[in-house]
Structures are given as structure tokens and as C-alpha cells.
């Protein structure tokens, strides 16, 4: 049964989303303030971006990962409540694609359960509670303390300042429960639960000011701050970022670029880059024991940190590195010299046949099937994720839940030949199977092998082909996709997709084409690409759906 508190919480915010993405409306500034200047755009018609490139951006709900990070930054809650309570996100390839999000009864009820749990634990933890409240109440009816708390928390939770009316409404709500229960923190509990179910907390609402181009809106500075923060950090804007919005320091593309420069120095940017790659390349959830999973994720994270943050250089080195950061566990698994450490330490690959991220256990663990590697699934992963190509699903009559039929003496290449001989399957499998076979010398944990485990008489050569061109192993594949400018263009597409919450569409092409050209012109620097993305004027706009 829903409590009175929950009914109040839902009632306060239930009407906010009905018209959010069909014009600016009464709240067209997106700031939700009482009309004072808070750093957003002036009301009225403004010019659209001179170069165009504004894509549709729909209403985005916080993903479970974004909810976890937001609650940790907002309330100091590191228990990952979003992951614990909210329905699983569709990750295809990213978890923040609004086209994969839908409202459901399960979602609404899980938000209520999460809010109740988070708030109950917050109020019971005096140290965390006092840090969030920010003042010591003189008694249950301390209106000044409640108002101060509401204004401060509301600014962070809703990602913009509250209007005077909103502050008064939330304060009255909190005090009513505080006085009724003779406990100030009962009021705090009610306010926190209300904010955590508020539509403007759960969703990233972007309204903006109408421009001279129909259906195109210029975001206000607080909306720009939120777009920046969830792209670069994967979490809610900090006080410093909201202060920049309030001071009018996010009003131009140069302002946004300058802000992004210091945001990239924050550790949260490293975490976001790590998660971007884990989702893009599919290794966000590895099927191994926790210790091995941690070692694999640490290896890939260390290489990304080195190339992108610690000694910024060409991003292509992530896929061409001659060594990696491994611990003793991975050294044994890979058959490389042990560094004598349980921390990621640089070890040269030597003549092991490895090169870059495509030879990491994290990546090679993806797309296994039937208790072994699957050339089909690996090839599809390369085509769809690394190269942004489309592979249609198999015909409905094809059995994909059982391995290709074979006798005990058949080698894997022979078993998979049935795909290539079937007219209904040949077109796709000719594109993906040869790619996957080029990685076959590495098993589903990334161990090197030269024969099949179940059929030692079957040699594994590691020879593959892509687009009719032969290659051998992860290095040969990486070199081909880099030399033919397939990898860099896809990565740019995927980063844009993460930033905007949807796949690249026709309206986005000018923006994305410019990003791809800039990425190559600037030596494939990932940090420079991020700055180009947020520094494009189109980053500060949205196009209306429909």
C-alpha cells in the first residue's frame, strides 16, 4: 500500500512531464525559477546554430548506473540503490538510450521502494544526514533550517535552483511531517523521498528557449551543465558546475569547452571513459569469478587511463599497444612474465601474438557460446560494435540455441561450414565467421592456444579474413580496421551516441562528420574529441521530437 508520504511526493511532481518535449511552454527557460536571472538564456526567440547539426534528443531517464552515481554524489550513498531496486536497463550498446526506455508500473513502484530505502538509511546515519541537511535544527519546527536544506538539496537534485514557490512548498511539506511527528528529521525524510521520486530528478528534462528554426530549442545554462555532467562524469552536476551555470559561464561554446577541460581532470571522467568502453565493446559484465573479473577490468582501465589521461596521445594506441598493464593473475593466464604484483604493471607482449585491447581478457571473454569461443558471435561483435555495421538477425527457423551439428572428429571450422553452405545464412556468416576465426587462438578467457581443447588433433591457426583481406590475430585485425579508418569513425559515432542518448540520425550528420574530421586532424586524441563534441554549438541545442 502506498503511504501518505508517497502520495504527496507523486502529487507534487506528476504534472511536470506532460508537455516537456512539445515546445517551451510556460517553463520554457528550463530553469524553473521565479523569473530572476539564473544564468540561462534570455526568454524569446534566439538564433539556431549557424552550422546546423541539431539532432532530436528525447526525454532521458537516469540509467541505473547514473542513478547510483547521482545518489552517491548527492547523499553519500555508495550502496548502488539504482542497481539494487530499479529494473534492468536495455544496454544496446549503452544504458542511457531513451529510445529503449519506457514507463511501467514496475518502474514507478521500484522508484518508490528505492526512495524509501535510501531516505530511511540516510536519516538513520547521523553523520551522512547532518552533511546533507547542512544545519542543526533548533527544534521540530525550525523553518529556517528546513528552508535552507530544501533549497540546497533541491538545487542539486533537480539540477537547477528552485523557485521561491517550490522552496516554500517543499518546506511546508517537510515542516508538516516534522511537527506532526515532533521530529525535524521526519520532515527531512519526507523531503528526500519526494525529491527522489520527482520527475525532474528521475528524468533529465531539457526544454530550452525556442529558436528561429521551428522545433529547435537552445538549452539554458543549467540544462547545458546537466548534459555536460552526465556525458563526462555520468552523474549529477556538482555545486561548482551549477555555480558556473548561475554565473553565466556556460553561455557560449568556448565557455562549455573550457569547463569540460577541468571536468576531464576529475577522477569521475576516468570512470566514465572506462564505462563507455565496457558498454561499447560488451565487457561490462564478465562471466568470471570476481577476482579474475577485477583483474581483467583493471588491465583495460589502466591502458585507457595511460593513453587518454596520464600521457595523452593517439587513441589508436589503445588497439596497437605492444604490451599491457597486468597483474600476476593475468600474467599466468596469458603466459607472460609475472610482474610480481597484484596491481596492474606494464609487461611487454613480446612474441605472444597479442596487441592492444582486442587481446585483453576483458574483450576476449565477450561473445562466448556453447562453453567455448564462438567465431560467429565474435565476428558479429566486431562488425556491430567495433565497426558500427548492421548484421540482421538470423531467420526465425534457424536454431541458435544449439551448436552446429558435428561428429566427434569434426574440427570447429568444419562444423561452422554448415553456415556458409546454407543459402539463407551464407550472406551474413561470410561477413562474420571469418572475422571470428581470426581470434580463435585465444579462448574465452584470453588464453593462447594452438589446438582445440576437445579435439587436440584440430589445429587453430588464428588466420581470419575481413572484407576479403586476410589477417592473423588481434593485432592483424586492429591494424586493418585502423588503416582503413573503420575504427575511428565508429568510435566517434558511439561516443556521440553516449552523449546524446540515441543512435546517429540524419539530423546529426553534420555534427558527427565534423567530429570525425577533427578527431583525425588532431592526431586521434580522445580528450580533444570530447572537447570538440561539447564545444560544438549544436551541443547546446535540441530538436523537438515528431
Q: What is the pLDDT of residues 339-389, one digit of tens each?
A: 999 999 999 999 999 999 999 999 999 998 878 899 999 999 999 999 999
Same-domain check for residues 30 and 157? yes
Say what the pLDDT of residue 26 is.
Answer: 31
Say what the pLDDT of residue 403 is.
Answer: 64
Whether the link from the prior residue into 229 is cis, omega within 30° of 0, is no
Same-domain check for residues 318 and 384? no
Q: How confident is the model at residue 402 (pLDDT cuts 50, 70, 90)?
A: low
- For 410-462, give the DSSP string: --HHHHHHHHHH-HHHHHHHHHHHHHHHTTTTB-TTS-B-SB-SS-TTSB---
Please provide the distance, in angstroms rounded to a whole number, between the alpha carbons at the two ends of the chain.
Answer: 38
Question: Could you tell me if 13 and 199 are in contact, meaning their C-beta atoms sit under 8 angstroms apart?
Answer: yes
Say what the pLDDT of residue 59 is.
Answer: 95
Say what the pLDDT of residue 8 is.
Answer: 44
- Cα–Cα distance for residue pair 422/251, rounded to 1 Å: 59
- Cα–Cα distance for residue pair 429/491, rounded to 1 Å: 24
Residues forming beta bridges with residue 60, ordered by sequence position: 204
Same-domain check for residues 322 and 385? no
Number of CB atoms found within 10 A of residue 390's CB: 6
Helix (H, G, I), strand (E, B) or coil at 14: coil
Q: How confident is the model at residue 404 (pLDDT cuts 50, 70, 90)?
A: low
- For 283-298, give the DSSP string: -SS-SS-HHHHHHHHH
Same-domain check for residues 8 and 85? yes
Assigned domain for 336 exists: yes
Same-domain check for residues 386 and 309? no
- Cα–Cα distance for residue pair 268/285, rounded to 1 Å: 20
CB contact set of 302 (below 8 Å; sequence gap of 6+): 324, 325, 344
Question: Could you tell me if 164 and 33 are in contact, meaning their C-beta atoms sit under 8 angstroms apart?
Answer: no
pLDDT of 23 above 70: no
Of all helices (H) and strands (E), which one includes residue 74? helix 64-75
Same-domain check for residues 351 and 414? no
- 465 phi and psi angles, rounded to 5 deg: -150, 145
Task: Say what the alpha-carbon torsion angle 377, 378, 379, 380 is, to the nearest 10 degrees.
Answer: 50
Final residue in a domain of this structure, among 219, 250, 273: 219
Assigned domain for 527 exists: no
pTM beyond 0.95: no
Assigned domain for 183 exists: yes
Which is it for the CA torsion 314, 315, 318, 320, positive or negative? negative
In eight-state DSSP terms, residue 538 is G
Domain total in the chain: 3
Same-domain check for residues 183 and 56? yes
The model's pLDDT over 221-258, given as tens digits with 9 standing for 90+, comes to 999 999 999 999 999 999 999 999 999 999 999 999 99
Assigned domain for 281 exists: no
Burial class (CB in 10 A: 0-12, 13-18, 19+), 39: buried
- For 81-112, give the DSSP string: HHHHHSPPPP-SS-TT-GGG----HHHHHHHH
Same-domain check for residues 462 and 326? no
Same-domain check for residues 207 and 153? yes
Say what the pLDDT of residue 408 is.
Answer: 64
Assigned domain for 119 exists: yes
Say what the pLDDT of residue 418 is.
Answer: 74
Per the structure, the complete domain to which residue 176 belongs is given by: 4-219
Final residue in a domain of this structure, among 203, 219, 235: 219
Final residue in a domain of this structure, among 219, 254, 273: 219
Tell me how far the alpha carbon of residue 321 is from its chain's centroid.
Answer: 25
In eight-state DSSP terms, residue 41 is P
Same-domain check for residues 406 and 477? yes
Same-domain check for residues 26 and 139? yes
Assigned domain for 383 exists: yes
CB contact set of 265 (below 8 Å; sequence gap of 6+): none
Same-domain check for residues 70 and 196? yes
Assigned domain for 166 exists: yes
Percentage, residues of the chain above pLDDT 90: 82
Q: In the predicted model, what is the mean pLDDT of residues 476-492?
A: 97
Assigned domain for 91 exists: yes
Amino acid at each position: 500500500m502506498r503511504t501518505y508520504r508517497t502520495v504527496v511526493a507523486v502529487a507534487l511532481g506528476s504534472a511536470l512531464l506532460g508537455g516537456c518535449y512539445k515546445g517551451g511552454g510556460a517553463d520554457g527557460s528550463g530553469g524553473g525559477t521565479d523569473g530572476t536571472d539564473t544564468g540561462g538564456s534570455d526568454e524569446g526567440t534566439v538564433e539556431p546554430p549557424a552550422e546546423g547539426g541539431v539532432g532530436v534528443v528525447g526525454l532521458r531517464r537516469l540509467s541505473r548506473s547514473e542513478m547510483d552515481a547521482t545518489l552517491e554524489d548527492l547523499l553519500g550513498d555508495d550502496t548502488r540503490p539504482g542497481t539494487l531496486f530499479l529494473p534492468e536497463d536495455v544496454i544496446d550498446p549503452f544504458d542511457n538510450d531513451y529510445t529503449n526506455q519506457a514507463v511501467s508500473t514496475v518502474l514507478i513502484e521500484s522508484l518508490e521502494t528505492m526512495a524509501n530505502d535510501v531516505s530511511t538509511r540516510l536519516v538513520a546515519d547521523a553523520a551522512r544526514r547532518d552533511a546533507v541537511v547542512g544545519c542543526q535544527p533548533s527544534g521540530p519546527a525550525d523553518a529556517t533550517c528546513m528552508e535552507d536544506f530544501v533549497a540546497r538539496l533541491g538545487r542539486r537534485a533537480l539540477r537547477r535552483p528552485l523557485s521561491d514557490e517550490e522552496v516554500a512548498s517543499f518546506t511546508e511539506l517537510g515542516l508538516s511531517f516534522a511537527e506532526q511527528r515532533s521530529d525535524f528529521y521526519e520532515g527531512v525524510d519526507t523531503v528526500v523521498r519526494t525529491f527522489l521520486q520527482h520527475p525532474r530528478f528521475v528524468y533529465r528534462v531539457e526544454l530550452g528557449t525556442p529558436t528561429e528554426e521551428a522545433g529547435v530549442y537552445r538549452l539554458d545554462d543549467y540544462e547545458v551543465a546537466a548534459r555536460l555532467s552526465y556525458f563526462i562524469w555520468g552523474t549529477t552536476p556538482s555545486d561548482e558546475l551549477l555555480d558556473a551555470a548561475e554565473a553565466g559561464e556556460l553561455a557560449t561554446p568556448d565557455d562549455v569547452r573550457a569547463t569540460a577541460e577541468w571536468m576531464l581532470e576529475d577522477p569521475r571522467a576516468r570512470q566514465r571513459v572506462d564505462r563507455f568502453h565496457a558498454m561499447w565493446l560488451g565487457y561490462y559484465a564478465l562471466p568470471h569469478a570476481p577476482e579474475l573479473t577485477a583483474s581483467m577490468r583493471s588491465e583495460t582501465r589502466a591502458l585507457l587511463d595511460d593513453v587518454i589521461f596520464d600521457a595523452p596521445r593517439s587513441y589508436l594506441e589503445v588497439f596497437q599497444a605492444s604490451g599491457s598493464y597486468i597483474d600476476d593473475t593475468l600474467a599466468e593466464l596469458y603466459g607472460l612474465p609475472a610482474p610480481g604484483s597484484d596491481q596492474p604493471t606494464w609487461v611487454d607482449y613480446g612474441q605472444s601474438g597479442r596487441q592492444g585491447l582486442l587481446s585483453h581478457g576483458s574483450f576476449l571473454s565477450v561473445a562466448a557460446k556453447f562453453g567455448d569461443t564462438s567465431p560467429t558471435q565474435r565476428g558479429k561483435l566486431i562488425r556491430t560494435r567495433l565497426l558500427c555495421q548492421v548484421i540482421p538477425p538470423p531467420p526465425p527457423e534457424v536454431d541458435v540455441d544449439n551448436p552446429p551439428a558435428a561428429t566427434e572428429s569434426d574440427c570447429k571450422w568444419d562444423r561452422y561450414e554448415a553456415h556458409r553452405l546454407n543459402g539463407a545464412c551464407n550472406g551474413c556468416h561470410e561477413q562474420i565467421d571469418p572475422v571470428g576465426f581470426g581470434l580463435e587462438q585465444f579462448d574465452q578467457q584470453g588464453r593462447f592456444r594452438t589446438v582445440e581443447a576437445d579435439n587436440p588433433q584440430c589445429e587453430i591457426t588464428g588466420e581470419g579474413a575481413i572484407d576479403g583481406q586476410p589477417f592473423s590475430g588481434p593485432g592483424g585485425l586492429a591494424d586493418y580496421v585502423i588503416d582503413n579508418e573503420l575504427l575511428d569513425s565508429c568510435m566517434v559515432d558511439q561516443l556521440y551516441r553516449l552523449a546524446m542518448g540515441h543512435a546517429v540520425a540524419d539530423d546529426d550528420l553534420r555534427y558527427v562528420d565534423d567530429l570525425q574530421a577533427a578527431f583525425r586532424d588532431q592526431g586521434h586524441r580522445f580528450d580533444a574529441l570530447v572537447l570538440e563534441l561539447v564545444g560544438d554549438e549544436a551541443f547546446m541545442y535540441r530538436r523537438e521530437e515528431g
